[in-house]
A = this chain, B = another copy of it.
């Protein structure tokens, strides 16, 4: 089947089931082969999302000149994501919040056969583990997926963002997302960029100890997260975790400022550069005036994403050959450089060749605190001359999440750079909390 009418073509593609393989020829003549990704997760009216054979998800702009044909392979046997039967059918109820579960330690228990930690399999079991969740009002559990967070990536951010929008559309006051802690910071940053016009809080929470252990931080973290999710002053993506080792003080971190800074401690999460946005103490939520308030709604997902983004940490032995091997096929690269944002001089020519080829190269600092500055040393000036965009005080991980989002939203490198440079979710700390030179 061929079609050359844009809207008919788009409608026809949208009517294909998720997973159906197509070959799409865009207006530049480029041919994309891949499987349809559920399009309701995407807000762009003229964007089709494909999972390419390489495993990447891309958003392809559709216009008058776009054609496509179905490829007759059977759809992939991949099991569909479990969906909440009630997500759309929820009645409006001012007091309830949604709990989205994704797996991870917070939804895990020890498997006494292997001695390892295994996911809890259903929503009832989670409420059984966490009775305190409903202490301040009703909670509706929406299982989204079930995996350890090292296996949660950008495509999952998009699924989660859509579930968040569905929960707000259904009338929830706020959303709690229970998530493994390993990549919780990455997901919090990804959601910060993907979600817009939030009418209430989106609170990511995890546990460093599984819920069947007496020392588990899961119950107290969840109770604090639920309190924050009910707070009417907040309209942004945050992370709530222990602020110390005791079970009565919790920190509220901005989703783009937070990083897991300890492998095992309960207070592993830290806001870098800026302070936490607030605390929860004795069940009371305290917030700084810098929090972003709720919007009028409706919440929206501003996708799509493009995973042809890389995060490259510099080290003294990094050669241009190795950097080249790493970045094959990427549209954008975030470099975690040293100090104010530097790399070895012999990498600069390679970087120039990349930016001249239309790759967006952005610089952050592996110090994880303080801002980059290209104008102090000769190396920084040479990197700017080679086309590197300096991202001020963004964490490398936050910059990576923003790049995945910006590459999905824009095609021309200049437009991607403009999106990266613009504050979207309060992520540029220095613009929100001016700090004297120290």
Interface residues of A (CB under 8 A from B): 54-55, 114-118, 148-154, 181-183, 186-187, 215, 245, 260-266, 268, 307, 309-311, 313-319, 321-322, 324-328, 336-345, 365, 367-373, 375-379, 381, 397, 400, 404, 437-438
Contact = CB atoms under 8 A, between A and B. Distances in A.
A378 B310 contact: no
Contacts of A376: 116-117
Contacts of A153: 316-317, 344
Contacts of A377: 116-117, 148
A373 B263 contact: yes
Nearest to A401: B316
SS of A interface (majority): loop
A314 B116 CA distance: 23
Contact of A317 (B154, B268, B317): B154
Given A116-B376, A264-B438, A311-B317, 18 more contacts: A114-B378, A117-B378, A150-B337, A150-B345, A151-B345, A153-B317, A182-B342, A261-B367, A263-B340, A263-B365, A264-B370, A264-B373, A268-B367, A317-B400, A317-B404, A321-B328, A325-B325, A325-B327
Contacts of A324: 325
B321 A261 contact: no
B317 A263 contact: no
Contacts of A317: 153-154, 307, 309-311, 400, 404
A316 B263 contact: no
Contacts of A345: 150-151
A115 B375 contact: yes
A260 B268 CA distance: 19
Contacts of A344: 150-151, 153
